[in-house]
């Protein structure tokens, strides 16, 4: 038996999901972070974040069309993590690393938290 | 897929949704 593995398929699907997001096609939730709004697909959010998984698997919350995050969450940090969810690319800037990491802890994105820890360790000579 | 002969296809797998119409 043979199987053909399309090695680019996962990234091609993600690229298309990101295009759908940028055109606001079938996005089904608005995430409110302080005063900023981010449109996204619930399925992508819950596939990447433990917090969103818990929210959208709750039968009382899964139909919500808007979710407000803790006001302590930095919108810039959230924007970077949302971009990561849809692109696999995490933009780590030293000036934003703490807010990215704290937002990743809040969103329960454990592997991103680990990556932030490693980034902090390697950029801090002490 | 153990024991299955897997052939790698490196090209694009699906159509590309345009950035904007």
Task: Quote the DSSP letter at residue A100.
Answer: H
Q: Taking chain B, what is the end-to-end CA distance rounded to the nearest angstrom?
A: 40
Q: Give dist(CA B6, CA A115) in Å, integer.
A: 32
Q: Looking at residue A11, what is its pLDDT?
A: 96
Query: Is B2 near chain A, with CB under 8 Å?
Result: no
SS3 A22: helix
Q: What is the pLDDT of residues A17-49, one digit of tens each?
A: 999 999 999 999 999 999 999 999 999 999 999
| Chain A nearest-CA residue for B18 | A19
> Cβ separation of A23 and B16 shorter than 8 Å?
no
Query: Is A24 near chain B, with CB under 8 Å?
Result: no
Q: What is the pLDDT of residues B1-21, one digit of tens each?
A: 667 888 999 999 999 999 875
> Cβ separation of B6 and A3 shorter than 8 Å?
yes
pLDDT score of A114 more than 90: yes
For B9, half-sphere exposure in the C-beta direction (CA atoms, 13 angstrom radius) is 11
Nearest Cβ partner of B20 from A6, A13, A23? A23
Q: Give dist(CA A82, CA A60) in Å, integer.
A: 24
Q: Give dist(CA A53, CA A46) in Å, integer.
A: 4
């Amino acid at each position: 038996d043979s199987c053909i593995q399309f090695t680019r398929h996962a990234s091609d699907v993600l690229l298309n999901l990101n295009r759908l997001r940028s055109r606001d096609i079938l996005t089904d939730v608005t995430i409110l972070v302080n005063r900023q709004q981010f449109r996204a697909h619930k399925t992508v959010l819950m596939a990447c974040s433990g917090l969103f998984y818990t929210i959208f698997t709750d039968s009382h919350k899964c139909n919500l069309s808007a979710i407000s995050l803790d006001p302590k969450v930095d919108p810039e940090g959230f924007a970077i993590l949302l971009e990561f969810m849809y692109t696999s690319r995490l933009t780590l800037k030293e000036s934003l690393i703490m807010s990215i990491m704290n937002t990743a802890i809040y969103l329960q994105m454990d592997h991103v938290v680990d990556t932030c820890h490693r980034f902090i360790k390697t950029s801090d000579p002490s | 897929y153990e024991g299955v002969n897997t052939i790698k296809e490196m090209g694009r797998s699906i159509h590309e949704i345009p950035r904007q119409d």
